[in-house]
Amino acid sequence: MSTDHDPNADAAKPAGNFLHQWIAADVAAGRTGGEVVTRFPPEPNGYLHIGHAKAICLDFGLAKTFGGRCHLRMDDTNPSKESDEYADNIKADIRWLGFDWGGHFYSAADRFDTMYDIAENLIKSGHAYVCRLSQEDWKHYRGVPTEPGRESPSRNTPPEENLDLFRRMKAGEFPDGSLCLRAKIDMASPNIHFRDPVLYRIMHVEHYHAGDTWCIYPMYDFAHPIEDALEGVTHSMCTLEFEVHRPLYDWVVDRMDEMGLLVVRNGVKIRPQQREFSRLNLTYTVMSKRLLLQLVQEGRVAGWDDPRMPTLCGMRRRGYPAAAIRGFCEGLGATKFISTTDYALLEEAVREVLNKTAARRLAVIDPVKLVIDNYPEGEEESFDAVNNPEDAAAGARKVPFSNTLLVERADFMKDPPKKFYRLAVGREVRLRYACLFTCTHVVEDDSGRLLEIHGTMDPASRGGTAPDGRAVRGTIHWVSARHAVEVPVRLYDRLFTVEDPLADDVRDFTAFLNPDSARDAVVLAEPSVAELPPGSQVQFERLGYFFADPADSKPGAPVFNRTASLRDSWAKNSSK
């Protein structure tokens, strides 16, 4: 996603997903008053996850496509679980993703006065009443979709009495759960959300933003259309489970219209509309804030930003670039089909970005000594190594070389099959950037464990090119033993061992946590790795992409999180 494209160019594109088409039709019909306005409405009761990123990319992305704007709004109507910590981190995560709400930051709590006035108006006009049913009875009366519900005994209370009760609810005269305000709509509707839904409930809980002003709080279904309408939102997109709430959304907007509360933009009355798309589900993880909170609270992960978490802060710490997450979300588009996306697709998007941007370095994770018997002991030289083959501007660096190198244990085989192109006695390989090397013999201990690989280099192949153009199929990476620096790395794997940790009827999802999802290790790396500042993104050639942890790295002593493995190692690749 570019940040400075011409919005009209995109808007003029035909087709797009169904949300794009929906908005385009409204723009063409002049229903937006000349400005498309969307909103992203998180509840500050947890950290954002990759599912939210999908919604953010749609909300902000479509607004931008149509040259409009997207509001950020804290939908903070449930004070028992919300906090400033969550609200602040939500903002930081959205900025990091690359989106900007300009001056349009809102909070439901800032509208509590207006919402209360609207509720009083609804009572006065006979559209709402105070219900005395207990929560249990209320559910019972509401019934099931296949049969009409039963009317609350309070349903026909006169408005004056309701108003008095509602004011006393607000004044704090009643305990939690004793009374609630309900819309008077239709107890026989097949849509259960239309059967006199609750608009306000009593909660003697302090609000993180509004303080202790209120002991009654509006329900999301009431607050949301009010906020959309008051902000002049034209297109309100949410996930599929809200589709059945849409008639209620429209009902509230109708009442606001009757009260003359709809925004008029350039002579057009703005009627916000809601549409629903399917939420993102990913394999091998869970995506509900409640479950993620459970993982944090039970100490199953190190925190919301644990690099194994599907949270945006976790992915950031893992080293996922914001551009990769945006690219992944763009690829998802928007549909109404319920589906689960393979986690591998997200990793692919991450690799695609990092392949272009990450600096290459040499590091060995499971080292064994390789001695070049025809290279003088104590001597050294250095070779030029390309920093990024995908980016000529990234230049090159010098990598020190000596007679004793460290290479991967797995790059040697005693009895290799024919197609093993790496190290074996009698075979020639390329030592990346350095030279061609032929293995002559090895040293093992009594148990047969490999201790040293010996051989000779072709002095005429310095830089790694065969002087006579002979084919050398295998290329391996190495570091000079004398120059290598030890660098801690954290190897991450999937958080869960099964594709859907919630599929089991009996066992809790935590039963499927992967015990090997985080492993500490050390790599031996070329010296320049020690100088990489926190936040650096590197590809240790053939090992994977790594990210210098911003919190745990110290100057001169980085700690790396493995962001993603490489799909292919270039050992198989004969051309390099």
Active-site pick, 132, 150, 265, 279: 279
186 CB-near residues (< 8 Å, 6+ apart): 194, 195, 196
Here the tokens at position 78 are: 């449930």
User: Does residue number 288 form part of the binding site for ligand ATP (CB under 6 A)?
Assistant: yes
Distance CA 124, CA 216 (A): 18
Half-sphere exposure of 155 (CA within 13 A, CB side): 15
**Binding to ligand ATP (CB under 6 A): which residues in 289-318?**
289-290
User: Does residue number 245 form part of the binding site for ligand ATP (CB under 6 A)?
Assistant: no
Indicate if 151 belongs to the active site: no
User: Does residue number 235 form part of the binding site for ligand ATP (CB under 6 A)?
Assistant: no
User: Does residue number 240 form part of the binding site for ligand ATP (CB under 6 A)?
Assistant: no
Angle, CA 23 vertex, CA 228 and CA 1 arms, to 5°: 95
- Select 233 or 370, whichever has its Cβ closest to ligand ATP: 233
Strand partners, 161: none
**Stretch binding ligand ATP (CB under 6 A), from 133-141, 196-204, 283-291, 546-554:** 283-291
Please tell me whether residue 33 adopts helix, strand or coil conformation: coil
Q: How far is the CB of 502 from Mg ion (least distance, A)?
A: 17
User: Does residue number 491 form part of the binding site for ligand ATP (CB under 6 A)?
Assistant: no
- Select 43 or 347, whichever has its Cβ closest to Mg ion: 43
Active-site pick, 289, 317, 430, 542: 289
As a dihedral over the C-alpha atoms of residue 537, residue 540, residue 543, residue 546, rounded to 10 degrees, the angle is: -20
Select from 31, 150, 193, 279 the one that contacts ligand ATP (CB under 6 A): 279
The set of long-range contacts for 164-167, using a CB threshold of 8 Å and a minimum separation of 24, is 165/130, 166/119, 166/120, 166/123, 166/130, 166/200
Residue 289 binding partner per list Mg ion, ligand ATP, none, with a CB distance cut-off of 5 to 8 Å that depends on partner kind = ligand ATP
DSSP conformational letter for 245:
G
The mark string for 48-67 relative to ligand ATP (x by CB under 6 A, - otherwise) is: ---xx-xx------------
**Stretch binding Mg ion (CB under 5 A), from 43-51, 103-111, 127-135, 346-354:** 43-51
- Select 44 or 307, whichever has its Cβ closest to Mg ion: 44
- The answer to whether 534 and 548 have CB atoms below 8 angstroms apart is yes
- Select 43 or 227, whichever has its Cβ closest to Mg ion: 43
- Select 54 or 360, whichever has its Cβ closest to ligand ATP: 54
Indicate if 279 belongs to the active site: yes
- The answer to whether 68 and 35 have CB atoms below 8 angstroms apart is yes
Q: How far is the CB of 13 from ligand ATP (least distance, A)?
A: 23
355 CB-near residues (< 8 Å, 6+ apart): 390, 539
330 CB-near residues (< 8 Å, 6+ apart): 1, 57, 61
- Select 265 or 275, whichever has its Cβ closest to ligand ATP: 275
- Select 43 or 306, whichever has its Cβ closest to Mg ion: 43
- The answer to whether 406 and 369 have CB atoms below 8 angstroms apart is yes
Residue 558 binding partner per list Mg ion, ligand ATP, none, with a CB distance cut-off of 5 to 8 Å that depends on partner kind = none
Active-site pick, 43, 227, 276, 408: 43
Indicate if 43 belongs to the active site: yes
344 CB-near residues (< 8 Å, 6+ apart): none
Distance CA 544, CA 491 (A): 10
Residue 474 binding partner per list Mg ion, ligand ATP, none, with a CB distance cut-off of 5 to 8 Å that depends on partner kind = none
Q: How far is the CB of 210 from ligand ATP (least distance, A)?
A: 18
**Stretch binding ligand ATP (CB under 6 A), from 35-43, 328-336, 380-388, 472-480:** 35-43
Backbone φ and ψ for 268, nearest 5 degrees, come out as -110, 125
Residue 360 binding partner per list Mg ion, ligand ATP, none, with a CB distance cut-off of 5 to 8 Å that depends on partner kind = none
Please tell me whether residue 26 adopts helix, strand or coil conformation: helix
Q: What residues line the site for ligand ATP (CB under 6 A)?
A: 41-43, 51-52, 54-55, 238-239, 279-280, 287-290
Catalytic positions, written as ranges: 43, 279, 289
Binding site for Mg ion (CB under 5 A): 43
